[in-house]
Amino acid sequence: MEKQLKKWLKSLKLNESTISMILGGLVVVVVGILIYNYFTSVGKQTGQPLSGDQQLAQELTPKGLPTTHTVAAGEDLWTIAEKYYGSGYNFVDIAAANKLVNPDRLLVGQSLEVPQVEARDKTTEQPTEVKITPAMSISANTYTVEKGDTLWGIAVKAYQDGYKWPEIAKANADKIANPDKIEVGMVLALPR
């Protein structure tokens, strides 16, 4: 029995490279089948809820597109994009789909292809409110210079016109040697 075992082990030793090659090939085939099954089943599962990105993309893609649009008087690509996508920023998609050389030049009656693309950020309907803070005005005939003041700034406060700073410089020529250098605490006369 011992001889038989040695003989069998010896034949196994001679065939070791062949057995290794067969086992390696088997592993490669199994891994290939697993990868193939994974990629073919990814998109085919039905009844699964959409991920957040897929749901958002579905909401942002307008319905009824692609379509054709005939340009009316007074329309530009921005207004056409707002009409179909709810966002004027999609004008670039319309221009690209129609290979427009000059997107600012549309002819009344021109037919445009409106592609099915995801809507870009929506444009705001209401303009943002800009708060204007009134500038402090000077009504007196003199002004005491404060830190950070310039003749331009003083002229804006006193006359609502920065270009009148030379008048202040001339009226105070005895105090101001260099108009770029005025000192804090200096009392300037403001000609009226």
Q: Which residue has the higher pLDDT, 148 or 7?
A: 148
Closest by CA position to 87, among listed 68, 114, 53, 112: 114
- To the question of pTM greater than 0.85 for the whole model, the response is no
- For range 32-38, the mean pLDDT: 91
Q: Give the chain's mean pLDDT.
A: 83
Amino acid residing at 191? P
* CATH code for the domain of 73: 3.10.350.10
Go through the chain and tell me how many residues it has: 192
Q: Greater confidence, 9 or 54? A: 9
| pLDDT for the residue numbered 135 | 59
Range of the domain at 108: 54-114
- Final residue of a structural domain among 114, 129, 163: 114
Q: Examine residue 150 and state whether it is found in any structural domain, yes or no.
A: yes
Confidence check: pLDDT of 129 > 90: no
Q: Which residues of 103-126 are buried (b: 16+ CB within 10 A; e: fewer)?
A: eeebeeeeebebeebebbeeeeee
In this structure, the answer to whether residues 63 and 108 fall within a common structural domain is yes
